[in-house]
Amino acid sequence: MPETVINMVAFDIPYPANYGGSIDIFYKLKTLKEKGIAVILHCFEYNKSEQPELENYCKSVVYYPRNKGLKFLFSPLPYIVVTRKHQQLLKNLKANDFPILFEGLHSCAFLDAPELKNRKKIIRTHNIEHDYYSGLQKASKNLFTKTYYAFESRKLKRYEPVLQHANAILSISPNDFEYFLKRYENVEYLPAFHPFSELKIKAGKGTYFLYHGNLSVEENEMAVHFLIDQVFNRLEAQLIVAGKTPGKRLREKISKLPNVTLQSNPSEEEMNNLLQNAQACVLPTFQGTGLKLKLLTSLFSSRYVIANPTMVNNIGLEDLCEVANSAEEFIAAINKISSDEFTTEQIKERKQKLIEFTNDFNGDKLLKIIEEL
């Protein structure tokens, strides 16, 4: 039987898998390898160097420099697209006739290229990008970045109809699925791939609550400010804030709070320990697009999860979380579960409900989509 091969065009080098988008891509690569699919990975190099580890999961890996410079801000194409428009990528895609999986609208510069007109093309959407950038604009305090996000959001909305050139659109969340289904054909819901092959939850109870995320992202920083300004300043409960690259303002504020501790840039092992030993992950978000991988991470690794409706609405995981919206509701939820034991029965129940979010289940789903093309 001949080998099944696909091209995958990734907007970033997906290893180390240290934020949402790269986590989804990297664990998708691993799952495809386990399912017998050979991937020619095309990826853009700008924050990371070449990663030999990827060769363990790919037939081959091709790296492209990402274009930089102010001139690209004035392109009619979105900045995240035009800076990845590399002619060598088009030449390499033309050199074979395998299906192409484009990761994110970022990587779609050649989705509508005449040279690829008759190819089988799949696009994995990671967000409703113009909504995501509109949310970043609202969260930003810096005038330059606020202006950039506003222009980028408009350009992304104008550019999005390029998706009609795809044979299949794979949405990462039910909300995104509903949005794309109204506008395009052949839309499927495919949840995020992630590091968890099994639940790692400990029965019992913890002594602290946990917020985790990339703290250099303004949306996550806004969530932490909400928790410490409106929730934990009114509680004695301990909060640990863990994540990458916290800003100076956040570091200084947390240093003055007796019941809030910051864990900057924890290792994978440290992060796993924090998740497993917490009483609950506390996860407000103010950005409703995409699927928050931190929610899946929490449900696979931690005991209780307290999240707001924006985090959980229409994902199918609401009944596994304590849902709170206002600061008062977060406080009530924290008080309600602060001394509860998490039981082995609750672990079994969660395992059953997370089957459709496992990589094995969704790898089979992706395989079927590729084969049907």
Say what the pLDDT of residue 290 is: 60
CATH top-level class of 4-194+358-372: alpha beta
Say what the pLDDT of residue 289 is: 62
For the domain 209-355, what is the CATH superfamily, name and number? Glycogen Phosphorylase B; (3.40.50.2000)
With cut-offs at 50, 70 and 90, classify the pLDDT of residue 364.
Answer: very high
Say what the pLDDT of residue 140 is: 86
Residue whose entry in the numeric block shows the structure tokens 């992060």: 271
Arithmetic mean of pLDDT, 306-314: 89
Evaluate if residue 266 carries a pLDDT over 90: yes
Arithmetic mean of pLDDT, 278-305: 88
Say what the pLDDT of residue 25 is: 97
Give residue-wise pLDDT tens across range 86-128.
Answer: 999 999 999 999 999 999 999 999 999 999 999 999 999 999 9
> Do residues 315 and 177 lie in contact, with contact meaning Cβ atoms separated by under 8 Å?
no
> Do residues 116 and 23 lie in contact, with contact meaning Cβ atoms separated by under 8 Å?
no
Arithmetic mean of pLDDT, 274-299: 88
Looking at 30-34, 103-107, 140-144, which range is the least confident one? 140-144
* More confidently predicted of 24 and 287: 24
If we measure between CA atoms, which residue out of 284, 8, 9, 249 comes closest to residue 142?
A: 249
Domain ranges of the chain: 4-194+358-372, 209-355
Residue whose entry in the numeric block shows the structure tokens 């082995």: 344
Question: pTM score, two decimals?
Answer: 0.85
- Supply the DSSP string of 244-259, one letter for each residue: S---HHHHHHHHT-TT
With cut-offs at 50, 70 and 90, classify the pLDDT of residue 1.
Answer: low
